[in-house]
Structure 1
Amino acid sequence: MPQGQPIAVPDDGLTTRQRRNRPLVMVHTGDGKGKSTAAFGIGLRGWNQGWRIGV
């Protein structure tokens, strides 16, 4: 795959910046350990980039 070339371009009429600024909800489910750790890790990474997060 060439560097910087998208595999598919969505036909939703949004620019890349508009698409990246849309809200995103992530839900971690399942048995066992690691769900909270994964969720807080993703939240901290987003917060570090200046995104608004909620837990």
Structure 2
Amino acid sequence: MKLIKGLLIFTISILIVFMIALMDSFIGVLIILILGVVIIALLSQDNTL
């Protein structure tokens, strides 16, 4: 269940990033990096729990 939840969050984040990237590619790349770190942090917390 945690894995499925992580995949859903990851998929939604990618969709949002693509929408933002269409507006400004540079800001989109920064957001991709930020979301990547946040997702990894969330998955790490789920694994420890």
TM-score (norm 2): 0.43
Q: Which has the higher helix share?
A: 2
Q: Choose 1 or 2 for highest CA Rg.
A: 1
Q: Which has the higher contact order (CA 8 A, sep 6+)?
A: 2
TM-score (norm 1): 0.40
